[in-house]
Amino acid sequence: MSSEPLELKEERAKYFARWEAVEILKAHELAAMTDERAREIMRDLRPFVPFEPDPFNGKGLVEQQAIFHRRKP
């Protein structure tokens, strides 16, 4: 027999039922999503993605150290 109280089991069951409902909803949304909507979502997330360093802007760590130490890179 389990040592969990009946109330805890019921709450856990409710939680997992809600979780499953959310997962099903997300699956339906993904299945119905158009390419344009996917691009829109990715565009909205872009500000939160770190920018890749541009190797041509000369602002890398080595270049900054060379400037600081007044040396040529």
Q: 20-61 pLDDT, tens per residue?
A: 999 999 999 999 999 999 889 888 887 766 766 666 666 677
State how far the Cα of 4 lies from the Cα of 34, in Å rounded to an integer. Answer: 45
64 belongs to a structural domain: yes
73 belongs to a structural domain: no
pTM for the complete prediction? 0.47
47 belongs to a structural domain: yes
pLDDT at 44: 84
10 belongs to a structural domain: yes
SS3 state of residue 68: helix
Indicate the number of domains in the chain.
1
pLDDT at 17: 95
State how far the Cα of 63 lies from the Cα of 35, in Å rounded to an integer. Answer: 41
The whole-angstrom distance between residue 69's C-alpha and the CA centroid of its chain comes to 39
